[in-house]
Homo-oligomer: A and B are copies of this chain.
Amino acid sequence: MNHGIAIGKVSQASGVKVTTVRFYEQIGLLAAPPRTDGGRRTYDRKDIERLTFIRHSRELGFEIDQIRTLLELQDRPDQSCADADTIAKARLVEVKAKIASLTALQAELERMVDGCSHGRVESCRVIEILADHGKCKHHLHDA
């Protein structure tokens, strides 16, 4: 009887795919767990928590390196959380910028689509705007 949790179970419980769990181990985001005699990885509840933390952080758009820092912070509860705050704030700034950029994008796409008279390419507003950036109202950054 083995008390360890199999990789498939932690995957299900955490919402991180099996292959991705192994990938995280490979890049050192998750410690290599003990193995069964047959060589299978055996996890515990802590690992599920850690993976859930990672998945949620990824959903919030944090990069792996940032998550590495956040995980280190989580491991030292007595430390100041200034770093976590800084990382989250930086991400918030990014997200706001992205929303602004995408909103400009949306406006331009709508202009393109609305302007299209569904005729020939010759007079297509979509192609026209793509060809001539000068027809853009907004200056777009990376979207």
With an 8 A cutoff between CB atoms, is A118 at the interface?
yes
- Looking at the complex, which one of B59, B78, B122 makes contact with A143 (CB distance below 8 Å)? B59
Task: Determine if B84 and A127 form an interchain contact, defined as CB atoms under 8 angstroms apart.
Answer: yes
The complex places the Cα of A133 from the Cα of B14 at a distance, in Å, of 10
By a beta-carbon cutoff of 8 Å, the part of chain A in contact with chain B is: 49, 52-53, 55-57, 59-61, 70, 73-74, 76-82, 84-85, 87-89, 91-92, 95-96, 98-99, 102-103, 105-106, 108-110, 112-113, 116, 118-122, 124, 126-127, 129-133, 136, 140, 142-143
Number of copies: 2
B60 x A121 contact (CB < 8 A): no
Please, which residues of chain B bring their CB within 8 A of the CB of A81? 116, 118-121, 124, 126-127
The verdict on A113 contacting B89 (CB below 8 Å), with A60-B143, A78-B122, A120-B81 known, is yes
Q: Do A140 and B84 have beta carbons less than 8 Å apart?
A: no
Give the nearest-CB partner of A105 in chain B: B95
Which of B53, B84, B87, B98 interacts with A121 by CB under 8 Å? B84
Tell me, in angstroms, the Cα distance from A101 to B81 when the chains sit together.
Answer: 27
Q: Does the CB pair B140–A88 fall under 8 Å? A: no
* A102 lies within 8 A of B91 (CB): no
Asked if residues A60 and B109 are in contact (CB atoms below 8 Å), the reply is yes
